[in-house]
Structure 1
Amino acid sequence: MSSAAAEEMKNGAKKMEKEELSANVEAEDDEEEDEAGDGAQAVDAKKKRKKKKKKKTEAPLVPHTRPAQDNSALRLVSDWKTAETVQTDMEPTIPIRRMFPDGRYPVGQEVEYAGENAKRKSDAEMKAKEEEFDKELQNARRAAECHRQVRRYAQQFIRPGMPLLEICEKIEGKVEELIEANGLEAGKGFPTGVSLNNCAAHWTPQTGDTKTILKESDIMKVDFGVQVGGRIIDCAWSVAFDPKFDNLIKATQEGTRMGLKMAGIDARFSEIGESIQEVIESFEVELDGKVHRIKSIRNLNGHSIGPYRVHGGKSVPIVKTTESTKMEEGEFYAIETFCSTGKGYVVEDLDVSHYMKDADAPVVPLRLKGAKELLYAINTYFGSLAFCRRWLDNVGQTRHLMNLKNLVDNGIVTPYPPLCDQRGSFTSQMEHTLVLRPTYVVEDLDVSHYMKDADAPVVPLRLKGAKELLYAINTYFGSLAFCRRWLDYVGQTRHLMNLKNLVNNGIVTPYPPLCDQRGSFTSQIEHTLVLRPMCKKIISVGDDY
């Protein structure tokens, strides 16, 4: 049995002992009350009852200035600036939810959509959709704040000479502490990847591996995830100590920044990939006296992220393709880039450590009892989230190898082997998670603008007042827009119920005010032009504008 499972049994035993002790104390109290209840001592007996202990209140969090963090030991990892926070310095220990008791988490960096992806108007239902989407967004922001604090912490202790297993366990332990891990509701998003040198992705140490040590000559890709309510934050960066890797790291940093810049509603994946490749392959790196042209790893991609699915179904290429698919509003994406000094193409290599249950796998009758038990454990602890063999050990499935193979052979679980370029090459990675929030205006305030639908069908009206109002609209406005104030001017002062009847029958269309968020400011400028056969002419232009 694993240490985690043993600890769980130990805690359960302690809990039972406490419950038995509490029951005995209550029984003794009842006996004392019965004895004291006879005669005039009954009143005194009530006074002897033990007062319930008040729950300990948590000490209030005191804001303070968190000092800057020097990351100069790590190549091209920026320093953390001083900031006002309630989090503890050096090693963070306060859970994210306690830091933000109102449930509103830091926004991160908001970037306006560029070019053709600038604006999109919504229909009347978009306001409700935004409110629902905001719940998902707060889950993502809570997970993102945890990721930021954990990687700041990790950048303090990751140094040459550390076993990779220790690095992973410290990162994953801190994630569980700060996010207040609670089964599938909140916790780790996927196994911590610590892929070295020519290995680009999907490598994490197995249980007991103390021999794989981080060396000063290595370049390591640190890739870990945090999830809240199934919203996964997937971010990664490259760790190196030798300045010879600077350009290799810069290539993915700049490539990812380009991908983030190009991403937007209706952005085409082909254009994003082409822009990323152009940036990455503009870099060269000199290693041991030989100059290498840095290449995008053409068979690795960014990806969309779905609820409880780190790979949501869409791929964001990092090279030029003919892919015509577009990004859509409301989608979450991991924009990640990989580059290499080798072939720029990875193959499956080394022992498999990453696995994931196929959420769409068919129901297969399993014959092995152990395979059934393992599948139950996977469903309970991970669901459709990625996991590794080390995590199976942690939940008590220590003899899982044969059963795991059975689940893989039956198509229930998918293995994700390490992905490596040719031996002797070096790779780097940079990754951020973004969400494509819709930029729209919502219908707000009381309706004042209306217009008769010129194509409205003939509808028999029952209300006499509605017929009279329609006659007035046809007479004074036709298919021109009008407002309620104008209806008053033409004698239709008691029009509200009749106007509602015309709207309900599809004869008149309301046009509510369109507003951005409260507290913001908007501006407008407009001209009328006519497209003449020989030229277009702005016929409303004047000296003013």
Structure 2
Amino acid sequence: MAVAVNEAAATDDVAKKLAETQLQAAADTASNDADEADDGSDDEEESAALTEADKKKKKNKKKNAAKKKKAKSGKAVLEQTAPPTVGLTKMFPTGIYPVGEIQEYDTTKFDESRQRTTGEELRERERLVQQKEGFDYNLIRRAAETHRQVRQYAQRTIKPGMSMTEIVNMVEDGTRNLVEANGFESGIGFPTGVSLNEVAAHYTPNAGDKRILQATDVLKVDFGVHVKGRIVDSAFTLNFEPTWDPLLAAVKEATNAGVKTAGIDVRLGDVGAAVQEVMESHEFDAEGKTHQVKCIRNLNGHNIEPYRIHGGKSVPIVAMPNLNVKMEEGEHFAIETFGSTGRGLVVDSGDCSHYARKSNPPQVPLRVSSARQLLYTINKNFGSLPFCRRYLDRLGEQNYLLGLKHLVSQGVVQDYPPLADVPGSMTAQYEHTILLRPTCKEVVSRGDDY
């Protein structure tokens, strides 16, 4: 049995060693698993960190791509402040500005030679036009976008109780900021008109004017912006009670009719007829009377030339069948209409505030020394762009009224006094600037507001 007893002992030893080996292996396996688990956790943490960095990088890339896309498409890459202070070259760093409303021409108005011109020829003509100095469409679009942003802030902000001086300063400060006023490179196109009630045009406050906007007033806001002499001229009307809403609606509709009718080879008289037909179809009741809206027949739209707000062609707002002058390709027009509950005729009224040096002033002796000094200031700061007394005050000019009067009397400077219908009447104005491109008509000043 001893032999049998000895085999059993050996077997027990082997079993014991085997068990120890298995336990050690199990322990080693557990340790390795734990290490692997730790290594996996580190890998996952590192992977997660990389993923977050990649996500952030990807997000920034998308954001930058979106900004570039906006810039290329004429969309702002920055938000405007209130009041507006951010210059448009910062909002549109590529120099591409929003395109205005595009309208197709009525081709039945084209002359024979134009009707034979192909679309490809017109597009090539447009490309060549834009290569001319000062004719890049982005110049006038920059001016138009300035106008849109400034006026939309003004529409939200102007309230009864504000002085007329506060209103014009708000508009003009916004314009200077956004267009980044720089002498003849860019700036205000003409003084801000804030004509009230029966006064239809050309009123801006002079120094010391204390007039306050009333809730019953009808206010026309007419201002201009230029970039390298390319002027955008656009206007709107505000009222604060519903009484005169129908008057505003009639004038806005008439302006749109004029814009729609305008085009290459269109007779100026036909534009006037279209405006009058729409304007004078409106009548409404207010203050116990029935009012038929009348066109103010001695006020007109006009073409615009570089640094000249009135280029020489007038666009009537009443029918003139004998006016056969036509609109031409490349011209730049202000289509503006005025409606009134009065006679439909305006006359000079009140103190003058608007002036402009004539484009080709006569060479006459100026015997008043203050006139010579004032003319130097006008030439240096405005050239042929309109100005007002407030602008002279801003430049530090003093005791200039005698010199200004002498320049007017000598025909060097043109004065533009306020224009008013009969007292007690109400007038309204809307205006757009259009560009007659070879391929289409662009309403550069069009916005969501009007």
Q: TM-score, normalised by structure 1?
A: 0.64
1:331-382 alpha-carbon deviations (Å, 9 max, x no partner): 0000000010000000111111000001111111212221111000000111
1:111 match: 103
Shift of the 89–323 alpha-carbon distance from structure 1 to 2, 3 Å rule, reads same
Q: CA contact under 8 A between 2:301 and 2:315: conserved in structure 1?
A: yes
Q: CA contact under 8 A between 1:61 and 1:86: conserved in structure 2?
A: no
What is the correspondence of 1:80-229 to structure 2 with a 5 Å cutoff? 86-117=78-109, 121=117, 122=121, 127-132=127-132, 135-209=135-209, 211-229=210-228
CA distance in 2 between counterparts of 1:296 and 1:133 reads 38
2:258 match: 259
Tell me the SS of whatever aligns to 1:110: strand
1:285 match: 284
What is the correspondence of 1:241-390 to structure 2 with a 5 Å cutoff? 241-321=240-320, 322-390=322-390
Tell me the SS of whatever aligns to 2:309: coil
Tell me the SS of whatever aligns to 1:277: helix
Q: CA contact under 8 A between 2:78 and 2:90: conserved in structure 1?
A: no
4+ residue runs over 4 A deviation: 60-63, 117-120, 122-127
One-letter amino acid of the counterpart of residue 382, structure 1: F
1:235-289 alpha-carbon deviations (Å, 9 max, x no partner): 0000101111111001110000000100110011111111110100011122211
CA distance in 1 between counterparts of 2:370 and 2:168 reads 28
1:426 match: 426
Q: CA contact under 8 A between 1:371 and 1:406: conserved in structure 2?
A: yes
Q: CA contact under 8 A between 2:126 and 2:438: conserved in structure 1?
A: no
Q: CA contact under 8 A between 1:96 and 1:179: conserved in structure 2?
A: yes
CA distance in 1 between counterparts of 2:175 and 2:203 reads 19
Q: CA contact under 8 A between 2:84 and 2:177: conserved in structure 1?
A: no
The count of corresponding residues between Structure 1 and Structure 2 is: 361
Displacement of 1:234: 0.3
Structure 2: unaligned runs, 5 residues or longer: 1-63, 68-74, 441-450
2:54 match: none
Q: Greater helix percent: which structure?
A: 2
2:233 match: 234
Q: CA contact under 8 A between 2:215 and 2:240: conserved in structure 1?
A: yes
1:79 match: none
Tell me the SS of whatever aligns to 1:271: helix
Displacement of 1:178: 0.8
1:300-326 alpha-carbon deviations (Å, 9 max, x no partner): 111000110100100111101121111
Q: CA contact under 8 A between 1:301 and 1:337: conserved in structure 2?
A: yes
CA distance in 2 between counterparts of 1:153 and 1:333 reads 25
Displacement of 1:92: 2.5
- Larger RCO, structure (CA 8 Å, separation 6 or more): 2
CA distance in 2 between counterparts of 1:229 and 1:291 reads 47
Displacement of 1:129: 2.8
CA distance in 1 between counterparts of 2:414 and 2:311 reads 15
CA distance in 2 between counterparts of 1:397 and 1:360 reads 24
CA distance in 2 between counterparts of 1:273 and 1:215 reads 33
Q: Highest CA radius of gyration, 1 or 2?
A: 2
Q: TM-score, normalised by structure 2?
A: 0.77
Tell me the SS of whatever aligns to 2:132: helix
